[in-house]
Amino acid sequence: MDAQGNIQNKHTNALKAYTKAEVSLHNKRTDCWIIIKDKVYDVTSYVEEHPGGDAILTHAGDDSTEGFFGPQHATRVFDMIEDFRIGELVK
């Protein structure tokens, strides 16, 4: 955590803390955030590339943990998703 209280990781210089209400505002194809295990990801740039088509939009602006860990995903997505991480969910 830096002096401003932002979380740091290897993929992003500083991660912000978001409420579920804030994440819920990003619920469309052109602005798509998801939550996976209390981490927030901006996957807007990936929506059109998603091999499962619009399935990624099912949980846009919401928790996608259960769907993300389903059998349809190859193990490489667990590393790839970190490139889209923008923050943590605060409760």
In a domain, 6, yes or no: no
Tell me the β-bridge partners of 89. Answer: 18
Whether the pLDDT of residue 8 is over 50: the answer is no
Segment among 40-44, 53-57, 85-89 with least mean pLDDT = 53-57
Percent of the chain at pLDDT exceeding 70: 75
Contact 37, 43 (CB under 8 A): no
From CA 30, how far away is CA 43, in angstroms rounded?
10
In a domain, 5, yes or no: no
- 51: domain range? 16-89
**Residue 53 burial by Cβ neighbours in a 10 Å radius (0-12, 13-18, 19+):** exposed
Query: What is the tally of structural domains in the chain?
Result: 1
Whether the pLDDT of residue 62 is over 70: the answer is yes
What confidence score (pLDDT) does residue 29 get?
95
Residue in this structure with the two tokens 């996608």, named with its chain if needed: 64
Whether the pLDDT of residue 80 is over 90: the answer is no
In a domain, 42, yes or no: yes
What confidence score (pLDDT) does residue 7 get?
45
In a domain, 8, yes or no: no
Q: Please report, for the domain that includes residue 53, its CATH number.
A: 3.10.120.10
Question: What's the pTM?
Answer: 0.79
At 80, which helix (H) or strand (E)? helix 77-80
